[in-house]
Structure 1
């Protein structure tokens, strides 16, 4: 494991991403589905597609499943999240079968983050408490959306992040770094960086591009949560393009529709 900060490709953090396939669920809630396309930050090589399926009720996410599909069209990782206990700190479990890697957060009498490096390794755990504002995994995105106007106005937003992959709670600060375009439309860019001395030498900042009107995440640049051939996480660029890129289609990426992946 590297010193790199393991944050789900906020990638997986995304509430209202490009064109969302939406459908009513049997319990009256709404199901929303979309894809993210991941490339290496250095070299721009396509690596995998994230297929997201969210369940929403009363305007907020209640559960969220992510399937990571590799370049051969096979599932390389899965993640399930439950937001019923907290809107920005989900309980979740992520698994990478090839490595035997598992990480997540559970809540019994209190909050606990856990991590297992391989099938042979023992599980590591660490208890933590919720200290607002706070996020974990894909809860990063709704937290930024909650503070969107302040960020747009040039304010810096400090918050805590429960990083199960690091077995610790870290302090982050987010701020606006400029404006750009995405798919020909205006967009705004935010940066999140660690607010602790020396740690910045080990972790690059995270750069996120949002639609200023809908507040939907358009692109993420930073450390991902898939492993390379050496078993280490690596930086990625994940785009939530409206249309599937040809390279993703050629490598067996699933459609962005709900139910595109069985099981």
Structure 2
């Protein structure tokens, strides 16, 4: 192939890659469920390739604009199971997860304590990791909208465990929104954790709000329970 032909092929490949890649940025405001007080803001940047997520970065900032946590998701073959690394710069608290063949490698760093590591074998059933939950809803949209429920395992680094959940659509009067409820799959144990509720735009399928336990810790070390509203450009 002539040099000119090689250069032309390179340019065409670059243009094709640019056409299939995109970046979406949005943010959310987390408020206390009782007082409505602003707890923190989360700033998302998602990179896409060929219409599927490739990388997500999230900066979490307190009401004064100071960084309190940061997270990176790297998506591979399955958008439901991205690897992730969450860290609090000030305290050193860290949660991380990566796929290692047929196992999940988990890392937990508590402030002032030795690093803890564990590996779990992948379940035979559907598995979701971190932000992969949002992709789960969209990939099973028609099933959930039709009123059928869905069960899956969620990987919890804080517990070094796989927790089984059930998601289902909730009837609501606003036809422009689809409300999804997530709770423990066992009806006998469901009372241990309040359901998480999510609202999606019925047309764009964008996440509009989240209500429930979050992955951000308060000064006391407990995870916030909050209502998060998302804003898009």
Smaller-chain TM-score range? Answer: 0.7 to 0.9
Which among 219, 227, 237 is matched to residue 217 of structure 2?
227
Which among 71, 77, 86 is matched to residue 63 of structure 2?
71
Aligned to 2:48: 56
- Aligned ranges 1:43-192 → 2 under 5 Å: 43-109=35-101, 110-181=103-174, 186-192=176-182
Mark the structure with the bigger radius of gyration.
Answer: 2
More helix by share: 2
Aligned to 1:216: 206
TM-score by length of 2: 0.85
1:210 Cα deviation after fit: 0.7
8 Å CA contact 2:105, 2:117 repeated in 1: no
Q: Distance in 1 between the 2:47 and 2:130 partners?
A: 17
**Cα shift readout 1:227-252 (whole Å, capped 9, x = no counterpart):** 1221111211110135xxxxxxxxxx
CA RMSD of aligned residues (A): 2.2
Q: Distance in 2 between the 1:180 and 1:51 partners?
A: 30
**Count of aligned positions:** 217
8 Å CA contact 2:176, 2:203 repeated in 1: no
8 Å CA contact 1:32, 1:54 repeated in 2: yes
8 Å CA contact 1:191, 1:208 repeated in 2: yes
Q: Assess, with a 3 A threshold, how the Cα gap between structure 1 residues 116 and 128 changes in structure 2: closer, same or farther.
A: farther
8 Å CA contact 1:179, 1:186 repeated in 2: no
- Aligned ranges 1:7-18 → 2 under 5 Å: none
Tell me: higher relative CO, structure 1 or 2? Use CA pairs within 8 A at least 6 residues apart: 1
1:166 Cα deviation after fit: 2.0
Structure 1 unaligned blocks of 5 or more: 1-24, 243-255, 257-263
Q: Distance in 2 between the 1:91 and 1:150 partners?
A: 26
1:196 Cα deviation after fit: 2.8
